[in-house]
Amino acid sequence: MEELYSLNSEVDVFYDDKNPRLAYVKRYCDKKYLFWLGLINVLVILIIDIFIL
C-alpha cells in the first residue's frame, strides 16, 4: 500500500458503520487507453450503422 499511496495523500475510504471491518479504498485505475478504445469503437459502429440505414 505504501507504494500506491504516498505519505499524507488523501484517498476515499468507504466502510460499514455497523461493521468497520468491511471497508475498502477507492483505487485509481490507470487504463485511459481502454476508455479511448471503447469510444472509438462506439463511434465506428455508429458511423457504419448510419451508412447502412
| Sequence ranges of the domains in the chain | 13-52
Helices (H), 1-53: 32-52
- Distance of alpha carbon 16 from alpha carbon 24, whole angstroms: 10
pTM above 0.85, yes or no: no
In percent, the amount of the chain with pLDDT more than 70 equals 89
- The more confidently predicted of residues 52 and 11 is 52
For the cut 90, the answer to whether the pLDDT of residue 45 exceeds it is yes
Q: CA-based angle 13:38:29, to the nearest 5?
A: 20
Q: Which residues have CB under 8 Å from 12's CB, separation 6+?
A: 25, 26
Residue 2 pLDDT: 66
For the cut 80, the answer to whether the pLDDT of residue 6 exceeds it is no
Which of 1-5, 8-12, 19-23 shows the lowest mean pLDDT across its residues? 1-5
Stretch 25-32: mean pLDDT, rounded? 75
